[in-house]
Structure 1
Amino acid sequence: MEQFALITGARHGLGKSFAIELSKMKINTILVSRPNHGLEDFCTELKDKYEIDSRPYETDLSVYQNVIDLANWVNEYFDVFILINNVGTGGTRKITNVDIEYINNIINLNVVTTSALSHQLLPNLLKQPAGYILNISSLAAYLPIGFKTVYPASKSFIYSFSRGLNQELKGTNVSVSVVCPGPIRTNDDVMKRVEKGFFGKFMILEPEFIAKKCIRQLFKKKADIIVNPIIWLLIMILPKWIKIPLMTKIVKKEMS
């Protein structure tokens, strides 16, 4: 039976770059995204160009039952040896100006979907000769930021969950990697926001670069993948009393 890689949030940005990178390596894919985003056409494009199999699955993964339905479908019909939990969402808002659904959406997509899908697909991954999980955290995992609040907390969860799960699975055929990229050049809205400050311009990376480095390190079973070492080091060495107010000030400027 052929093996597949499953990628969530696969139609745009980093997820799309992961799909292309794996297709170049002749790895079959199951691509997941929200409905009405042209996913089926993208899968067809990958099949024609790279001569691999690519299956589309359209659903809203912020709904818990949809996550379970996806996992059940995959476990019934496919052998999965790579799981890339890329789907997620953020936001830059004053917390008193948002409703509870805004907060729930971030937690559901970033925390619940990643942990639940990993849990549900682990038996499938453990049956393969080698299995790999890649979770997408963020540099925000290392520092709380005002006007983002819930997002960095959710990414801290992903980082901790990934490192802990990797340790738990030592001695098995499955390894877990986590990457903490900063801003990614994905669309015009992102570019307009982050380029308001020098720091944002300095941090931003191309999704193709991140995808290539992540896949390379994933197959080496690297637990903690660092794609921007200069910024990572800067965040690590700056004391909290400097970096938290500094980042909050930068984010507040982006909001204006």
Structure 2
Amino acid sequence: MNKKYTLITGASSGLGSAFTLCCARLKMNLVLIALPGSTIKATAGELVRLYGIDVRVFEFDLTNRVAFDTHIAIIKKDYPVNFLINNAGMGGTVSMLDCAPQLIDKIIQLNIGCTALLTRELLPQLLQQEKSFILNIASMAAFSPIAYKTVYPASKAFVASFSLGLREELQQKGVSVSVAYPGPIMTNSDTSRRILLQGYKGRLGLFSTTDLASRIIRQTLAGRAEIVPGWWNQINHALMGLIPSTLKVRLISGAIKRELQLTH
């Protein structure tokens, strides 16, 4: 089989859905991974009709190791991947004491474990291609610890470190690794409500998910190592780099604490 595929995790909603559309418009064949019960199959059918590409759908929970091993074995056997987009992730805003242990475990498994494991599983296949790409989605939260989120920014800092280390390792082997740091994204009603509560400042780094996805994909295919989309996020990142870590944590965490108080 000469077809090559772009694999996207978390493909059914938010940024993952926007990546799916963006890659379809670029005439990439797709392998889409999403949780069961989404509308991903209907979306896939529409993309096939509109863009004449091949789209394969796998609905399973990436953190279920048995399901992971079973489905990834099929993908490795039947669908040569030359572009891996590790987009699936989750977080939450809650004090550590009120955070269920199961949620902590899930965030670590999905954001850290699945990103590393899926990359490792598909790496032999990616290395067989003349040119291939890995895109890992971190977050602006990766640049600082944040109280009341604690595990999420730490997991995204892992994604950043993992990506840049792997990029160096694969530098001469035809696999380009990029990591993107999107700011706030209005991916669902809860996230949207929290962003809007932050007022004008909270909305400054916002893009439509379609615009954001297209910027990130374009820069990934251009071989950029780190992608911070948007001038406001770039300025914010530069300014935060000048502030001592302890003060930075206090400033960012103060905003999160006020947000929590407004929602309770």
Length-normalised TM-score, structure 1: 0.97
Task: Choose which of 210, 213, 231 in structure 1 pairs with 2:236.
Answer: 231
Amino acid at match of 2:92: G
- Which residue matches 1:242? 247
| Distance in 2, Cα, partners of 1:106 & 1:186 | 17
Amino acid at match of 2:176: S
For this pair of structures, how many residues does the alignment match? 256
- Which residue matches 1:210? 212
- Give deviations 1:182-207, integer Å, cap 9, x for gaps: 11122222111112123312222221
Aligned pair in 2 of structure 1 residues 23, 244: CA closer, same or farther (>3 Å)?
same
Partner SS for 1:90:
coil
Q: Is the 8 A contact 2:186 2:195 kept in 1?
A: no
| Distance in 2, Cα, partners of 1:165 & 1:48 | 37
Q: Following TM superposition, by how much is the alpha carbon of 1:15 offset from its aligned partner in structure 2, in angstroms?
A: 0.5
- Give deviations 1:3-47, integer Å, cap 9, x for gaps: 100000000010011110110011110111000111111100111
CA RMSD across the alignment: 1.2
- Which residue matches 2:54? 53
Q: Is the 8 A contact 1:64 1:113 kept in 2?
A: no
Partner SS for 1:91:
coil
| Distance in 2, Cα, partners of 1:37 & 1:251 | 30
Q: Following TM superposition, by how much is the alpha carbon of 1:234 offset from its aligned partner in structure 2, in angstroms?
A: 2.5
Which runs of structure 2 are paired with 1:6-17 in the superposition (5 Å)? Answer: 6-17=7-18
| Distance in 2, Cα, partners of 1:235 & 1:53 | 43
- Which residue matches 1:161? 162
Unpaired segments ≥5 residues, structure 2: none
Farther-moved stretch of structure 1 (116-125 vs 231-240): 231-240
| Distance in 1, Cα, partners of 2:139 & 2:95 | 20
- Which residue matches 2:32? 31
Q: Following TM superposition, by how much is the alpha carbon of 1:237 offset from its aligned partner in structure 2, in angstroms?
A: 2.4
- Which residue matches 1:251? 256
Could you list the runs of 4 or more consecutive aligned residues of structure 1 that deviate by over 6 angstroms after TM superposition?
none
Q: Following TM superposition, by how much is the alpha carbon of 1:226 offset from its aligned partner in structure 2, in angstroms?
A: 1.5
Partner SS for 1:7:
strand
Q: Following TM superposition, by how much is the alpha carbon of 1:254 offset from its aligned partner in structure 2, in angstroms?
A: 1.8
Farther-moved stretch of structure 1 (58-67 vs 100-109): 58-67
Q: Is the 8 A contact 2:9 2:32 kept in 1?
A: yes
| Distance in 1, Cα, partners of 2:242 & 2:95 | 28
Length-normalised TM-score, structure 2: 0.94
Q: Following TM superposition, by how much is the alpha carbon of 1:215 offset from its aligned partner in structure 2, in angstroms?
A: 1.0
Q: Is the 8 A contact 1:67 1:116 kept in 2?
A: no
Which runs of structure 2 are paired with 1:1-256 in the superposition (5 Å)? Answer: 1-198=2-199, 199-228=201-230, 229-256=234-261
Unpaired segments ≥5 residues, structure 1: none
Partner SS for 1:29:
strand
| Distance in 1, Cα, partners of 2:166 & 2:99 | 33
